[in-house]
């Protein structure tokens, strides 16, 4: 509202037709506030008491945001009287055209009057409960306002919200500004009316950080208190806030100056300052319109997500994260992070029980874009800092995984939780290691036959990979690196690598049962390599076997033989004296359950090869060759094995 919209009538208020009606409304408003103070300031305890000060100071901060005020003085006076003075334009004193009383009187007596003066869009500050200065007035035994408009000094006094006299001119001045002095009403604040200097200091410091450049002087002038005084002034704004939180953390900085990101879009602004310390805690605090969003919201969530994405992208692009390394998680990246997020927007939506959560989705988008663009650019311009951040996150990730493993190990040791067996495992009944066998079978259909044909007392079946696509079969060595071998590890129960514990082995024999073709050969190579590299003891102690399925069935009348080589096949044909029917098995899947049992799984008749370390070493060399980038040796291997397949060479 412009001063010139109102006729300036200093001194006593004039008679006005709407005056009486509006005065009644004002008195009803006052009544409501005094009846239910908690509704307006949250509580009537110590928190509510301090809230009165914030509410008044916030008005001066608004004037700062509007660009007219750079100095705010807050004094705690004898008797716990608060005085707040600013050097802004002064609350307008012109007569309100509708209400017929000075605007300053409206501000201090009409509920939610603040908004009426905020039409220009700069009013973004405000208390948590959205109370106005009229609420403070209503809850004070007395309140005095003094306005200097560059010409006159005006004054008005209120008691429990009601004007004692009309706004009056006290004298002349060439200064401008507003001073509010008030005493909280002990009838309302029954717990205490004594202010805690440090509580006010913390909140005012926060506001000084959030409004870069403003000077806030806080002094304790109560005769019964230690006299104290602080000047809160931070040219660095939230950068200084970030540094301050960093120093409070008692940790060492890992990144030098705070990284500062900021953007303006229409009437909205977003700024972020962040740095990393060498600690493990995360300290992210966010604000919307200078209000602490205790429960975060769109701006904070967008920041965390974008940070995770940008750091991961950088890590991948510059190979700090290898292709096989898992994605860094948000909490790994946030270890040691100190960040301050401050956004300002018109019509901020505060959500949740305590209204401490920002809901505007537009702010999520804005922060996301800001971090994506500016943090990526910063990292590219500052490789040593980027490297530091990435290395810290990788260390956090490694430590977290190790801790998790240790916990899991501890749990499985103490038997608190049973490890969940793979869904596809058809387990056996016995746990006698002298008897038990685990068959690792390629494919679901062979797996199905094996499950039907087995002796479930001591034989367990684990089908791997289900139905494999041809492309997958061609590069089956690739699955080595991913989670597809996890079911094997879990079924065996031993853990892998450093965690390997042979005493946890759940089966006496581990039998790899794969087709007698190239793909089967790949799978044998893969599994043996895996055992060789991660569970060598399993092989050393003679637990690993290769099943030997037959290649032919030679049949005549009621007689039949299974042959495991060409020679054997020819021998049986000769024995049966001509006219024998010969069936060639192309895969395990071609045998029914009974045949698979008879030929390959029945301990009475089967032959199995025990795998020696030398075999596994050979597999490892083959595997390395297969994994290599050279296509030629791989093709040679496949061709050679396609011919040698009948010898079941691995
Ligand atoms: F509201 C209050 F009484 F709580 C209070 C208001 C307390 C304190 C310490 C300061 C203020 C205050 C208000 N400081 N500065 C202002 N400015 C205005 O109210 C103002 C001045 C000029 C214009 C204009 O459009 O010319 C508009 C406004 C809102």
Q: Quick count: other Cβ atoms within 10 Å of Cβ 112?
A: 12
pLDDT digits (tens, 9 = 90+) for 42-92: 899 999 999 999 999 999 999 998 999 999 999 999 999 999 999 999 999
Q: Which residue has the higher pLDDT, 442 or 387?
A: 387
pLDDT confidence band for 641 (50 / 70 / 90): very low
pLDDT confidence band for 15 (50 / 70 / 90): very low
Best mutation site among 8, 64, 91, 130 for ligand 1 pocket (most ligand atoms within 8 Å of CB): 91
Nearest residue (CA) to ligand 1, atom 26: 2
pLDDT confidence band for 2 (50 / 70 / 90): very low
Q: What is the pLDDT of residue 1?
A: 42
Q: What is the pLDDT of residue 487?
A: 87
Q: Quick count: other Cβ atoms within 10 Å of Cβ 175?
A: 11
The average pLDDT across 599-615 equals 90
Do residues 464 and 488 lie in contact, with contact meaning Cβ atoms separated by under 8 Å? yes
* Position 4 pLDDT exceeds 90: no
Percent of the chain with pLDDT over 70: 85
pLDDT digits (tens, 9 = 90+) for 567-596: 999 999 988 887 889 988 888 878 889 989
In the reported structure, the alpha carbon of residue 423 is separated from the centroid of ligand 1 by a whole-number distance in angstroms of: 69
Nearest residue (CA) to ligand 1, atom 13: 91
> Across all residues in the chain, what is the average pLDDT?
86
Range with the lowest mean pLDDT among 276-280, 429-433, 487-491, 646-650?
646-650
Q: What is the pLDDT of residue 265?
A: 96
* Position 451 pLDDT exceeds 50: yes
The average pLDDT across 313-327 equals 90
In the reported structure, the alpha carbon of residue 159 is separated from the centroid of ligand 1 by a whole-number distance in angstroms of: 21
* Position 643 pLDDT exceeds 70: no
Q: What is the pLDDT of residue 546?
A: 94
Q: Which residue has the higher pLDDT, 402 or 221?
A: 221
Range with the lowest mean pLDDT among 2-11, 176-185, 256-265, 612-621?
2-11
Look at the block and give the residue holding tokens 């975060």.
Answer: 296
Task: Provide residues with CB under 6 Å of ligand 1.
Answer: 1-3, 56, 59-60, 63, 84, 86, 88-89, 91-92, 107-108, 117, 133, 145, 178, 180
pLDDT confidence band for 621 (50 / 70 / 90): confident
Best mutation site among 51, 89, 94 for ligand 1 pocket (most ligand atoms within 8 Å of CB): 89
Strand, helix or coil for residue 32: helix
Look at the block and give the residue holding tokens 């004054």.
Answer: 155
Judged by phi (left if over 0) then psi (alpha if -120 to 50, else beta), residue 174 lies in: alpha
Nearest residue (CA) to ligand 1, atom 3: 133
Q: What is the pLDDT of residue 311?
A: 97
Do residues 199 and 218 lie in contact, with contact meaning Cβ atoms separated by under 8 Å? no
Q: What is the pLDDT of residue 479?
A: 46
Nearest residue (CA) to ligand 1, atom 18: 91
Long-range contacts of 393-400 (CB under 8 A, 24+ apart): 393/311, 393/315, 393/328, 393/332, 393/333, 393/335, 394/315, 394/320, 394/321, 394/325, 394/328, 394/332, 396/280, 396/331, 396/332, 396/333, 396/335, 397/326, 397/328, 397/329, 397/332, 400/329, 400/331, 400/332
In the reported structure, the alpha carbon of residue 474 is separated from the centroid of ligand 1 by a whole-number distance in angstroms of: 76
The average pLDDT across 274-279 equals 94
pLDDT confidence band for 410 (50 / 70 / 90): low
In the reported structure, the alpha carbon of residue 91 is separated from the centroid of ligand 1 by a whole-number distance in angstroms of: 4
In the reported structure, the alpha carbon of residue 90 is separated from the centroid of ligand 1 by a whole-number distance in angstroms of: 5
* Position 445 pLDDT exceeds 70: yes
Q: Quick count: other Cβ atoms within 10 Å of Cβ 114?
A: 23
Q: Which residue has the higher pLDDT, 419 or 273?
A: 273
Q: Which residues are known catalytic residues?
A: 442, 515, 517, 519
Do residues 122 and 116 lie in contact, with contact meaning Cβ atoms separated by under 8 Å? no
The average pLDDT across 174-191 equals 97
SS (H, E, C) 464-527: ECCCCCHHHHHCHHHHHHCHHHHHHHHHHCCCCHHHCCHHHCCCCEEEEECCCCHHHHHHHHHH
In the reported structure, the alpha carbon of residue 100 is separated from the centroid of ligand 1 by a whole-number distance in angstroms of: 19
| pTM (two decimals) | 0.63
* Position 354 pLDDT exceeds 70: yes
Q: Of all atoms in ligand 1, which is nearest to the CA of residue 85?
A: 9
In the reported structure, the alpha carbon of residue 13 is separated from the centroid of ligand 1 by a whole-number distance in angstroms of: 20
Q: DSSP strand E in 189-331: where?
A: 215-220, 228-233, 259-265, 268-276, 283-288, 291-292
Q: Of all atoms in ligand 1, which is nearest to the CA of residue 145?
A: 3
Q: What is the pLDDT of residue 631?
A: 56
Of 94-98, 131-135, 506-510, where does the model show the most confidence? 506-510
Q: Of all atoms in ligand 1, which is nearest to the CA of residue 84?
A: 9
Q: What is the pLDDT of residue 483?
A: 61
Q: Give CA–CA dist 207/217, Å, rounded.
A: 12
Phi, psi of 435 (to 5 degrees): -110, -35
Q: Of all atoms in ligand 1, which is nearest to the CA of residue 55?
A: 4
* Burial status of residue 414 (CB atoms within 10 A of its CB: 0-12, 13-18, 19 or more): exposed
Q: What is the pLDDT of residue 646?
A: 35
Q: What is the pLDDT of residue 411?
A: 63
SS (H, E, C) 533-587: HHCHHHHHCCCEEEECCCCEEEEECCEEEEECCHHHHHHHHHHCCCCCEEEECCC
Q: Which residue has the higher pLDDT, 21 or 154?
A: 154
DSSP state of 81: E
Q: What is the pLDDT of residue 18?
A: 55
Range with the lowest mean pLDDT among 93-107, 528-542, 621-635?
621-635
Q: Of all atoms in ligand 1, which is nearest to the CA of residue 89?
A: 21
* Position 416 pLDDT exceeds 90: no
Q: Give CA–CA dist 95/6, Å, rounded.
A: 5
Q: Which residue has the higher pLDDT, 634 or 207?
A: 207
Do residues 518 and 489 lie in contact, with contact meaning Cβ atoms separated by under 8 Å? no
């Amino acid at each position: 509202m412009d001063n010139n919209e109102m006729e300036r009538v200093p001194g006593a208020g004039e008679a006005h037709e709407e005056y009486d009606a509006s005065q009644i409304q004002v008195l009803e408003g006052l009544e409501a506030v005094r009846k239910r103070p908690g509704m307006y300031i949250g509580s009537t305890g110590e928190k509510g008491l301090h809230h009165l000060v914030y509410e008044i100071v916030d008005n001066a901060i608004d004037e700062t945001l509007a660009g007219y005020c750079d100095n705010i003085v807050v004094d705690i006076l004898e008797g716990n009287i608060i005085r707040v003075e600013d050097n802004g334009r002064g609350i307008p004193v012109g007569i309100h055209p509708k209400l017929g009383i000075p605007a300053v009187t409206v501000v201090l007596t009409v509920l939610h009057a603040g908004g009426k003066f905020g039409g220009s869009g700069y009013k973004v500050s405000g208390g948590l409960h959205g109370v106005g200065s009229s609420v403070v007035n209503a809850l004070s035994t007395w309140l005095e306002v003094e306005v200097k408009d560059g010409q006159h000094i005006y004054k008005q006094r209120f008691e429990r919200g009601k004007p004692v006299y009309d706004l009056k001119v006290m004298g002349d001045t060439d200064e401008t500004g507003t001073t509010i002095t008030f005493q909280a009403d002990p009838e309302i604040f029954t717990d205490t009316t004594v202010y805690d200097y440090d509580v006010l200091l913390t909140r005012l410091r926060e506001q000084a950080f959030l409004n870069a450049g403003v000077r806030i002087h806080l002094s304790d002038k109560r005769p019964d208190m230690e006299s104290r005084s602080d000047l809160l002034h931070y040219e660095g704004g939230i950068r200084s806030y970030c540094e301050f939180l960093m120093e409070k953390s008692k940790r060492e900085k890992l990144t030098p100056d705070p990284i500062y990101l900021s953007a303006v879009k229409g009437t909205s602004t977003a700024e972020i300052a962040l740095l990393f310390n060498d600690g493990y805690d995360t300290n992210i605090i966010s604000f919307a319109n200078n209000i602490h969003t205790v429960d975060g919201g769109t701006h904070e969530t967008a920041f965390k997500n974008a940070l995770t994405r940008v750091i991961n992208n950088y890590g991948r692009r510059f190979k700090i994260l290898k292709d096989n390394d898992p994605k860094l998680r948000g909490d790994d990246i946030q270890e040691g992070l100190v960040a301050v997020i401050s956004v300002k927007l018109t019509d901020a939506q505060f959500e949740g029980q305590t209204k401490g959560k920002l809901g505007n989705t537009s702010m999520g988008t804005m922060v996301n874009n800001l971090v994506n663009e500016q943090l990526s650019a910063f990292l590219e311009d500052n490789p040593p800092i980027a490297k530091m951040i990435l290395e810290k996150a990788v260390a956090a990730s490694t430590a977290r995984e190790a801790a998790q493993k240790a916990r899991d190990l501890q749990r499985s040791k103490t038997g608190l939780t049973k490890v969940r067996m793979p869904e596809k495992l058809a387990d056996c009944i016995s746990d006698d290691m002298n008897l038990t066998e685990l068959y690792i079978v390629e494919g679901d259909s062979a797996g199905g036959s094996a499950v039907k044909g087995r002796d479930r007392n001591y034989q367990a079946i684990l089908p791997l990979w289900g139905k494999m696509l041809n492309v997958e079969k061609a590069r089956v060595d690739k699955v080595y690196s991913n989670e597809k071998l996890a079911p094997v590890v879990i079924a065996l129960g031993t853990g892998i690598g450093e965690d390997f514990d042979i005493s946890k082995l759940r089966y006496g024999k581990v039998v790899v049962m794969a087709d007698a073709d190239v793909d089967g050969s790949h799978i044998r190579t893969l599994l043996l390599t895996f055992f060789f590299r991660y569970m060598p003891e399993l092989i050393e102690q003679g637990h690993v076997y290769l099943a030997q399925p037959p290649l032919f069935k030679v049949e005549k009348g009621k007689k039949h033989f299974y042959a495991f080589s060409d020679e054997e096949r020819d021998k049986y044909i000769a024995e049966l004296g001509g006219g024998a029917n010969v069936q060639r098995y192309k895969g395990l899947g071609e045998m029914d359950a009974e045949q698979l049992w008879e030929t390959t799984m029945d301990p009475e008749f089967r032959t199995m090869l025990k795998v020696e370390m030398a075999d596994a070493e050979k597999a490892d060399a083959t595997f390395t060759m297969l994994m290599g980038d050279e296509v030629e040796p791989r093709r040679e291997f496949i061709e050679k094995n396609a011919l040698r397949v009948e010898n079941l060479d691995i």
